[in-house]
Chains A and B, each alone.
Chain A
Amino acid sequence: MAGVSAGDAAVARFEARYRAEARRKALITAVGTSLFLAAFVASAIVGEIDPARFVAGLPNIIDYVARTLPPLSRDTPLADLGEWFWAIDVWLLLLADTVLMAIVGTLAGAGGAFLFCFHAAQNLAPNGWSFFIARRSFEIARTVPELVFALIFVYAFGPGPFAGVLAIAIHSAGALGKLFAEANENADPRPIEALAAAGATWSETMRFAVLPQTLPDLLSYGLLRFEINVRAASVLGIVGAGGIGEELYLVVRRFLYADISAIVLLILLTVAIIDLVCERLRKGLIAPGERAATR
């Protein structure tokens, strides 16, 4: 008899626990749902979302896209293509500039990140304050958007690719610095201990114990960043910081519809080619950072 009642008690305990857990789950779901709905309503009010305007805007968008389609006819496809890409020489030069901006910006940014990435690694930093300064600088450099840096540099250095390169470099230094530091933190500690035991200085330890382990990661991250920076460089021209973006902004504001689609297509092609080349190069190294690759 005692065994049965003990069993009943266990069942009762289980059921009480189950009910409590179910209540907790329901409460979390209810709170989460109401928070989500509140955020949605608040956003809709602040974002001036008007279903009527949305419905009215939809045909406008479709119409706009339809207008950018080039007038290609079946009789004279080549001539039409020539007409569509009538300024191809100018555009290709601007695209080349865009890619060159990305190259210099990425190299400069990666250099900056490399200089301080050992200080920004928690287990490698020679002292507390250099760790703190390196971490915070990287954080600020990557949180301020590229375009804000570009706006400021265009004001200081005047319009042109140099402002864009500086903006890309600073933002890349911040983003890469964090990734580099994390790669360094994950390095195998045994070679580091070995070098320390052999009496190496801090910089010798970094050079001969950490760098050989992490260099493929760093290069791979750098290539990923280059892909991202080509995209970034293609829009910096909108604020006057060089590259194809300025031309694109111009044709959009002048409603030169066919030119818009031509330039956008060229940007897409360039980005795709760069991505392909970088992917092949990266396969030769190794491929960390899946998440970063998607943006």
Chain B
Amino acid sequence: MIRAAHPRVFARPLGERLRRATLLALAGLVLAIALWRVLPDWEAFVSGLGKLGFLVRFMIPPTHGGHLPQLLEGLAETLAMAFLGTLLAATVAVPLGFLGARNVVPVGLFHFGIRRLFDGLRGIDSLIWAIVFVAAVGMGPFAGILAIAVPDAGTLAKLFAEAIENVEKRQLEGVEAAGGTPVERARFGILPQVLPIMLANVLYFFESNTRSATILGVVGAGGIGLQLAERIRLDDWQEVAFIILLILLTVSVIDWASGRLRRRIILP
């Protein structure tokens, strides 16, 4: 009886079955090509595993090898880069976000263009920006700050613009009815509504930037990453393990603190 009521569940039509089979075969083919391209030959794999085992053995116990001040300095630089990079990104993203919101600038072509600009900025990873900025302004934390700020300005501007587009209209209309200028509308009609969302997002990005800032040093853009890449080149695995632990600890502390702050902002 059930079979009579739902024939499609028990015997799918031939076309549908064929389409499913084709899709599955295609997926299998892509996977096969992918595995063929990325997997190493067996000997390299086995010797690599052996090396990996050695590395882990060499990592124990993790030590700072007397370079603790240097490492802490690198860590401080990482945090400073994350902080200033996020701050710079947020500062730029607020006006950009207003410009990119459809209800603030209701010009279709402009809206489309500025949104694509945001996409372009955030589509490129901060590490790519880092190698470009290191080439443009030289090694050091300045390149790192810019590398964090540029893609995040794009992402934050997009998030801000979306938050602004979702504001309650009545408050805007209220300010307008009271004779507010466009600037006053933005200041008193929109900003109070979106400020908590903006702050929470900025804090979230600070957390995630602490993680990205730890690796920018690998390409010379300042921070602990430089020390890490150097230790790996020098085969100093005990110190590598120490630096990784240091990064883990810092990231957890920042996550915890910023998470608490974020919950306070969103739920006052």
Interface string of B34-49 (1 = CB under 8 A from A): 1101111000110011
Cα–Cα, bound, A190→B204 (Å):
35
Partner of B132 from A48, A260, A294, A295 at Cβ < 8 Å: A260
The verdict on A255 contacting B135 (CB below 8 Å), with A46-B76, A100-B34, A104-B35 known, is yes
CB distance from A115 to the nearest CB of B (A): 19
> What is the size, in residues, of chain A's interface with B at 8 Å between Cβ atoms?
62
Contact A47 B132 (CB under 8 A): no
Tell me which residues from 240 to 294 in chain A have a Cβ below 8 Å from any Cβ of chain B: 242, 245, 248-249, 252-253, 255, 260, 264, 267-268, 271-272, 291, 294
Contact B83 A39 (CB under 8 A): yes
Cα–Cα, bound, A97→B142 (Å):
32
Q: Say if the beta carbon of A120 comes within 8 Å of chain B.
A: no
Most chain B CB within a 10 A radius of its CB, from A53, A165, A235: A235
Contact A238 B211 (CB under 8 A): no
Q: Say if the beta carbon of A129 comes within 8 Å of chain B.
A: no
Question: Which residues does chain A contribute within 8 Å of B214, judged by CB atoms?
Answer: 145, 148
Q: Say if the beta carbon of B104 comes within 8 Å of chain A.
A: no
Interface string of A16-48 (1 = CB under 8 A from B): 000000000000000000000001101110111
Q: Summarize A's interface: helix, strand, loop or mixed.
A: helix
CB distance from A90 to the nearest CB of B (A): 15
Cα–Cα, bound, A260→B252 (Å):
36
CB distance from B248 to the nearest CB of A (A): 5
Question: Which residues does chain A contribute within 8 Å of B89, judged by CB atoms?
Answer: none
Tell me which residues from 112 to 169 in chain A have a Cβ below 8 Å from any Cβ of chain B: 140, 143-145, 147-148, 151-153, 155-158, 160-162, 164-165
Cα–Cα, bound, A30→B132 (Å):
39
Q: Spot the interface stretch: B13-21, B120-128, B164-172.
A: B120-128
Cβ-closest chain A residue relative to B133: A61
Contact A253 B248 (CB under 8 A): no
Question: Which residues does chain B contribute within 8 Å of A107, judged by CB atoms?
Answer: 31
Partner of A42 from B80, B135, B215 at Cβ < 8 Å: B80
Tell me which residues from 117 to 153 in chain B have a Cβ below 8 Å from any Cβ of chain A: 119-120, 123-125, 127-128, 131-133, 135-137, 140-142, 145-146
Question: Which residues does chain A contribute within 8 Å of B127, judged by CB atoms?
Answer: 147, 235, 238
Most chain B CB within a 10 A radius of its CB, from A43, A47, A140, A264: A47
Cβ-closest chain A residue relative to B159: A294
Question: Which residues does chain A contribute within 8 Å of B123, judged by CB atoms?
Answer: 231, 267-268, 271-272
Partner of A253 from B77, B135, B247 at Cβ < 8 Å: B135
Q: Say if the beta carbon of B189 comes within 8 Å of chain A.
A: no
Q: Say if the beta carbon of A57 comes within 8 Å of chain B.
A: yes
Question: Which residues does chain A contribute within 8 Å of B34, judged by CB atoms?
Answer: 100-101, 103-104
Q: Say if the beta carbon of B218 comes within 8 Å of chain A.
A: yes
Question: Which residues does chain A contribute within 8 Å of B92, judged by CB atoms?
Answer: none
Contact A148 B248 (CB under 8 A): no
Contact B131 A239 (CB under 8 A): no
Contact A157 B131 (CB under 8 A): no
Q: Say if the beta carbon of A60 comes within 8 Å of chain B.
A: yes
CB distance from B201 to the nearest CB of A (A): 9
Contact A162 B40 (CB under 8 A): yes
Contact A143 B252 (CB under 8 A): yes
Cβ-closest chain A residue relative to B143: A57
Q: Say if the beta carbon of B79 comes within 8 Å of chain A.
A: yes
The verdict on A148 contacting B228 (CB below 8 Å), with A48-B140, A61-B136 known, is yes
Cα–Cα, bound, A83→B245 (Å):
48
Question: Which residues does chain A contribute within 8 Å of B84, judged by CB atoms?
Answer: 40, 43-44, 47, 49
Q: Say if the beta carbon of A184 comes within 8 Å of chain B.
A: no
Question: Which residues does chain A contribute within 8 Å of B212, judged by CB atoms?
Answer: 145
Contact A143 B38 (CB under 8 A): no
Cα–Cα, bound, A238→B33 (Å):
23
Partner of B222 from A47, A63, A248 at Cβ < 8 Å: A47
Question: Which residues does chain B contribute within 8 Å of A48, judged by CB atoms?
Answer: 140-142
Q: Say if the beta carbon of B198 comes within 8 Å of chain A.
A: no
Given contacts A151-B218, A234-B125, 16 further A-B contacts (CB under 8 A): A43-B79, A46-B80, A47-B77, A57-B137, A63-B136, A64-B132, A100-B38, A104-B35, A148-B247, A157-B45, A161-B37, A162-B45, A239-B229, A248-B131, A260-B132, A294-B155
25 CB contacts below 8 A, A to B, read A40-B83, A44-B84, A46-B141, A47-B77, A47-B142, A48-B140, A60-B136, A100-B34, A103-B34, A143-B247, A143-B248, A151-B232, A152-B232, A153-B52, A155-B55, A157-B44, A165-B38, A232-B125, A235-B125, A238-B218, A248-B131, A249-B219, A252-B131, A253-B131, A267-B124
Binding site for A on B (CB under 8 A): 30-31, 33-35, 37-40, 44-45, 48-49, 51-52, 55, 73, 76-77, 79-81, 83-84, 87, 119-120, 123-125, 127-128, 131-133, 135-137, 140-142, 145-146, 155, 158-159, 204, 208, 211-212, 214-215, 218-219, 222, 225, 228-229, 232, 240, 244, 247-248, 251-252
- Report the 8 A-B pairs with minimum CB-CB distance, sorted nearest first: A157-B48, A43-B80, A100-B34, A64-B136, A47-B80, A46-B80, A156-B51, A57-B137
